[in-house]
Structure 1
Protein backbone atom coordinates (compact mmCIF):
# COMPACT_ATOMS: atom_id res chain seq x y z
CA UNK A 1 0.00 0.00 0.00
CA UNK A 2 1.28 3.50 -0.80
CA UNK A 3 2.28 6.08 1.78
CA UNK A 4 0.85 9.59 1.91
CA UNK A 5 1.85 12.83 3.57
CA UNK A 6 -1.30 14.43 5.04
CA UNK A 7 -1.17 18.07 6.11
CA UNK A 8 -4.05 19.98 7.61
CA UNK A 9 -4.80 23.41 9.02
CA UNK A 10 -7.51 23.93 11.58
CA UNK A 11 -10.18 26.60 11.19
CA UNK A 12 -9.94 29.35 13.84
CA UNK A 13 -13.00 28.00 15.66
CA UNK A 14 -11.37 24.57 15.97
CA UNK A 15 -8.18 26.13 17.36
CA UNK A 16 -10.26 27.99 19.93
CA UNK A 17 -11.94 24.72 20.92
CA UNK A 18 -8.56 22.97 21.30
CA UNK A 19 -7.21 25.82 23.42
CA UNK A 20 -10.29 25.77 25.66
CA UNK A 21 -10.35 21.97 25.82
CA UNK A 22 -6.92 20.46 24.99
CA UNK A 23 -7.26 17.03 23.45
CA UNK A 24 -5.23 14.42 21.63
CA UNK A 25 -6.66 14.12 18.09
CA UNK A 26 -4.24 11.38 17.05
CA UNK A 27 -6.67 8.59 17.97
CA UNK A 28 -9.41 10.24 15.91
CA UNK A 29 -7.04 10.37 12.93
CA UNK A 30 -5.98 6.76 13.49
CA UNK A 31 -9.60 5.59 13.61
CA UNK A 32 -10.54 7.38 10.37
CA UNK A 33 -7.48 6.06 8.56
CA UNK A 34 -8.20 2.52 9.73
CA UNK A 35 -11.82 2.82 8.56
CA UNK A 36 -10.58 3.31 4.98
CA UNK A 37 -8.24 0.32 5.35
CA UNK A 38 -5.06 2.24 6.13
CA UNK A 39 -2.54 2.63 8.93
CA UNK A 40 -1.35 5.79 10.68
CA UNK A 41 2.47 5.76 10.77
CA UNK A 42 3.04 9.12 12.45
CA UNK A 43 1.15 12.16 13.73
CA UNK A 44 2.66 15.53 14.68
CA UNK A 45 1.57 19.05 15.49
CA UNK A 46 3.63 21.46 13.42
CA UNK A 47 4.58 25.10 13.09
CA UNK A 48 4.03 26.92 9.81
CA UNK A 49 1.34 26.63 7.18
CA UNK A 50 -0.09 23.39 8.59
CA UNK A 51 -1.13 22.59 12.15
CA UNK A 52 -0.96 18.81 11.82
CA UNK A 53 1.28 16.54 9.74
CA UNK A 54 0.60 12.83 9.35
CA UNK A 55 2.17 9.96 7.46
CA UNK A 56 -0.31 7.23 6.58
CA UNK A 57 -0.36 4.07 4.51
CA UNK A 58 -3.60 3.94 2.52
CA UNK A 59 -4.99 1.35 0.10
CA UNK A 60 -5.30 3.74 -2.86
CA UNK A 61 -5.92 7.29 -4.04
CA UNK A 62 -9.69 6.88 -3.69
CA UNK A 63 -9.25 6.15 0.01
CA UNK A 64 -7.02 9.22 0.35
CA UNK A 65 -9.69 11.39 -1.29
CA UNK A 66 -12.44 9.88 0.88
CA UNK A 67 -10.41 10.64 4.00
CA UNK A 68 -9.79 14.22 2.90
CA UNK A 69 -13.44 14.78 2.00
CA UNK A 70 -14.72 13.35 5.29
CA UNK A 71 -12.39 15.56 7.32
CA UNK A 72 -13.11 18.70 5.27
CA UNK A 73 -16.86 18.10 5.45
CA UNK A 74 -16.66 18.29 9.24
CA UNK A 75 -15.86 22.01 9.07
CA UNK A 76 -13.05 22.07 11.69
CA UNK A 77 -10.31 21.97 9.05
CA UNK A 78 -9.77 24.85 6.63
CA UNK A 79 -7.24 23.04 4.41
CA UNK A 80 -6.18 19.43 3.87
CA UNK A 81 -3.26 18.62 1.57
CA UNK A 82 -2.52 15.07 0.44
CA UNK A 83 0.83 14.18 -1.11
CA UNK A 84 1.54 10.65 -2.41
CA UNK A 85 4.99 9.45 -1.32
CA UNK A 86 7.26 7.17 -3.33
CA UNK A 87 9.86 4.85 -1.86
CA UNK A 88 13.43 5.31 -3.03
CA UNK A 89 13.18 2.20 -5.22
CA UNK A 90 9.99 3.57 -6.82
CA UNK A 91 11.77 6.90 -7.35
CA UNK A 92 14.73 5.21 -9.03
CA UNK A 93 12.35 3.35 -11.36
CA UNK A 94 10.73 6.70 -12.23
CA UNK A 95 14.19 8.17 -12.92
CA UNK A 96 14.97 5.27 -15.25
CA UNK A 97 11.69 5.79 -17.11
CA UNK A 98 12.38 9.53 -17.36
CA UNK A 99 15.85 8.92 -18.81
CA UNK A 100 14.35 6.91 -21.65
CA UNK A 101 11.74 9.45 -22.69
CA UNK A 102 14.09 11.54 -24.81
CA UNK A 103 12.64 14.90 -23.75
CA UNK A 104 14.39 17.89 -25.30
CA UNK A 105 13.86 21.31 -23.68
CA UNK A 106 13.12 24.28 -25.96
CA UNK A 107 16.19 25.53 -27.78
CA UNK A 108 18.22 22.32 -27.43
Structure 2
Protein backbone atom coordinates (compact mmCIF):
# COMPACT_ATOMS: atom_id res chain seq x y z
CA UNK A 1 0.00 0.00 0.00
CA UNK A 2 1.10 3.57 -0.69
CA UNK A 3 0.50 6.18 2.00
CA UNK A 4 -0.38 9.80 1.17
CA UNK A 5 -0.85 13.03 3.09
CA UNK A 6 -3.71 14.98 1.52
CA UNK A 7 -4.18 18.66 2.31
CA UNK A 8 -7.17 20.52 0.90
CA UNK A 9 -9.03 23.78 1.06
CA UNK A 10 -12.68 24.15 0.19
CA UNK A 11 -13.91 26.55 -2.46
CA UNK A 12 -16.99 28.59 -1.55
CA UNK A 13 -19.19 25.93 -3.20
CA UNK A 14 -17.41 23.16 -1.32
CA UNK A 15 -17.84 25.05 1.96
CA UNK A 16 -21.60 25.31 1.29
CA UNK A 17 -21.69 21.53 0.86
CA UNK A 18 -19.75 21.02 4.10
CA UNK A 19 -22.17 23.27 5.96
CA UNK A 20 -25.09 21.27 4.56
CA UNK A 21 -23.64 17.75 5.16
CA UNK A 22 -21.49 18.35 8.21
CA UNK A 23 -18.16 16.71 8.93
CA UNK A 24 -19.61 13.21 9.31
CA UNK A 25 -21.22 13.41 5.90
CA UNK A 26 -17.93 14.38 4.32
CA UNK A 27 -16.10 11.60 6.21
CA UNK A 28 -18.58 9.06 4.85
CA UNK A 29 -18.02 10.37 1.30
CA UNK A 30 -14.24 10.20 1.66
CA UNK A 31 -14.38 6.69 3.15
CA UNK A 32 -16.52 5.54 0.22
CA UNK A 33 -14.14 6.88 -2.41
CA UNK A 34 -11.02 5.49 -0.74
CA UNK A 35 -12.46 2.05 0.08
CA UNK A 36 -13.92 1.70 -3.43
CA UNK A 37 -10.32 1.82 -4.69
CA UNK A 38 -9.12 -0.72 -2.13
CA UNK A 39 -7.71 1.79 0.33
CA UNK A 40 -8.24 2.96 3.87
CA UNK A 41 -8.49 6.36 5.57
CA UNK A 42 -5.99 6.32 8.43
CA UNK A 43 -6.80 9.81 9.74
CA UNK A 44 -9.00 12.74 8.79
CA UNK A 45 -9.03 16.12 10.50
CA UNK A 46 -10.73 19.41 9.79
CA UNK A 47 -8.59 22.50 10.33
CA UNK A 48 -8.56 26.22 9.74
CA UNK A 49 -5.90 28.34 8.11
CA UNK A 50 -4.47 27.50 4.70
CA UNK A 51 -5.93 23.97 4.85
CA UNK A 52 -9.52 23.09 5.72
CA UNK A 53 -8.98 19.35 5.81
CA UNK A 54 -5.98 17.05 6.31
CA UNK A 55 -6.02 13.30 5.67
CA UNK A 56 -3.65 10.36 5.73
CA UNK A 57 -4.77 7.58 3.40
CA UNK A 58 -3.42 4.17 2.37
CA UNK A 59 -4.05 3.30 -1.27
CA UNK A 60 -2.97 0.33 -3.39
CA UNK A 61 -0.80 2.49 -5.68
CA UNK A 62 -0.08 6.05 -6.87
CA UNK A 63 -2.48 5.62 -9.81
CA UNK A 64 -5.36 5.28 -7.32
CA UNK A 65 -4.27 8.55 -5.69
CA UNK A 66 -4.13 10.22 -9.10
CA UNK A 67 -7.65 8.99 -9.92
CA UNK A 68 -9.02 10.44 -6.68
CA UNK A 69 -7.15 13.69 -7.21
CA UNK A 70 -8.52 14.12 -10.74
CA UNK A 71 -12.11 13.44 -9.66
CA UNK A 72 -11.92 15.79 -6.67
CA UNK A 73 -10.28 18.61 -8.62
CA UNK A 74 -12.78 18.22 -11.49
CA UNK A 75 -15.61 18.80 -9.00
CA UNK A 76 -14.35 22.32 -8.32
CA UNK A 77 -15.26 21.92 -4.62
CA UNK A 78 -11.69 21.66 -3.31
CA UNK A 79 -8.12 22.63 -4.05
CA UNK A 80 -5.94 19.68 -3.05
CA UNK A 81 -2.37 18.50 -2.88
CA UNK A 82 -1.19 14.97 -2.15
CA UNK A 83 2.24 14.14 -0.77
CA UNK A 84 3.57 10.58 -0.89
CA UNK A 85 4.72 9.41 2.54
CA UNK A 86 7.65 7.01 2.98
CA UNK A 87 8.18 4.52 5.79
CA UNK A 88 11.46 4.35 7.70
CA UNK A 89 12.38 1.19 5.78
CA UNK A 90 11.71 2.90 2.45
CA UNK A 91 13.90 5.89 3.29
CA UNK A 92 16.63 3.55 4.58
CA UNK A 93 16.52 1.69 1.25
CA UNK A 94 16.69 4.99 -0.65
CA UNK A 95 19.69 6.08 1.43
CA UNK A 96 21.54 2.85 0.51
CA UNK A 97 21.09 3.33 -3.23
CA UNK A 98 23.97 4.93 -5.10
CA UNK A 99 23.01 7.91 -7.24
CA UNK A 100 25.45 9.53 -9.65
CA UNK A 101 24.72 13.24 -9.32
CA UNK A 102 26.88 16.27 -10.00
CA UNK A 103 25.69 19.64 -8.72
CA UNK A 104 25.85 22.55 -11.17
CA UNK A 105 29.12 24.41 -10.98
Aligned equivalent of 2:103: 105
**Per-residue deviation, 1:22:** 5.2
Matches within 5 A, 1:74-93: 74-77=75-78, 79-93=79-93
What is the count of residue pairs matched by the alignment?
A: 103
TM-score by length of 1: 0.83
* Coordinate RMSD, CA, aligned: 1.7
Work out the CA distance in 1 between the residues paired with 2:21 and 2:33.
20
Work out the CA distance in 2 between the residues paired with 1:87 and 1:54.
17
Work out the CA distance in 2 between the residues paired with 1:68 and 1:16.
20
**Over residues 18-42 of structure 1, what are the superposed CA-to-partner deviations in whole Å (9 max), with x where a residue is unaligned?**
34x3512111101100111111111
Matches within 5 A, 1:50-89: 50-77=51-78, 79-89=79-89
| Structure 2 gaps, min length 5 | none
Query: What is the DSSP-based 3-state SS (H/G/I as helix, E as strand, rest coil) of the residue aligned with 2:43?
Result: strand
Aligned equivalent of 1:4: 4
Work out the CA distance in 1 between the residues paired with 2:89 and 2:76.
38
**Rg: which structure is higher?**
1
Query: What is the DSSP-based 3-state SS (H/G/I as helix, E as strand, rest coil) of the residue aligned with 2:4?
Result: strand
